[in-house]
Amino acid sequence: MNNQSQQVVLITGASSGIGQASAKILAENGAKIIACYNSNQQGAEETKQIVENTGSECLLIKADLTDKEQVDELVRQAIEAFGHIDVLVNNAGAAIKRSPFLDIDEDLWQTTYDVNVKSIFLVSQAVLKQMVPRKSGKVINISSVAARLGGPGESIHYASAKGAVSTLTVGLAKEFAPHGILVNGIAPGFIMTPFQDKFSTQERIEKIVPTIPIGRAGVSEDVAKVVAFLASDAANYMMGEMLTVSGGR
């Protein structure tokens, strides 16, 4: 992979897990980071420190990505600080809570789609408006293997939303490739992040890990390295791909 020292990267959900690990590896490659967070300010401050420890720059911006005005302000601040955005990593998302399908109410369904799909719609639209005139840019969407597995463990609503993310990735890739913008996605498998701490019991973890062919659960860095690959020149002839990072699960 080439040096990414000229890149400006906006990462959503950057205060922990895959977002924080991606910020670290991209900063180590020389990229300047805009780290977006919503509620976890302490984690965001940690991300900023991690990035600055590499010798790179990090701008922290708090925003509710389901609110168009806040998203537009996020992008405005990013452009004001660095002049442009080269790479957008749409990492923010959440399962909200597990629920059997018949117990899912409208609020849970809508909130799940707002957090996982509407957020990517709003942020991508705002950033792509800045990328199109430059005829350059990359968008990396974080989906999930749940989109293909159908939501094991009472998470059909989450899996369905991530399926929408995967479809959105292909659609955006086709529409914006003529503008010199490459859109790809990653479908992580069972990754040990704060997400699992919140949504998986120890019993569930012990049941799933033996089913992973590679023999272990993933860690955030496993996904972050693929983010860095897609952000690099090594992936300049790829578009509309959904790369599975699951240890073979």
Query: Would you name the residues annotated as active-site residues?
Result: 158
Q: Are 102 and 28 in contact (CB under 8 A)?
A: no
Please report the DSSP string for 75-141 in residue order.
Answer: HHHHHHHHS--SEEEE----------GGG--HHHHHHHHIIIIIHHHHHHHHHHHHHGGGT-EEEEE
Helix (H, G, I), strand (E, B) or coil at 23: helix
For residue 11, what are its two tokens?
């990462």
* Location of structure tokens 């969407």: 141
Helix (H, G, I), strand (E, B) or coil at 103: helix
* Location of structure tokens 């599975």: 244
- Pairing between strand 137-142 and 181-188? parallel
CB atoms within 10 A of CB 176: 19
Reported as type and span, the H/E element at residue 59 is strand 58-62
Q: Are 151 and 164 in contact (CB under 8 A)?
A: no
* Location of structure tokens 């300049």: 236
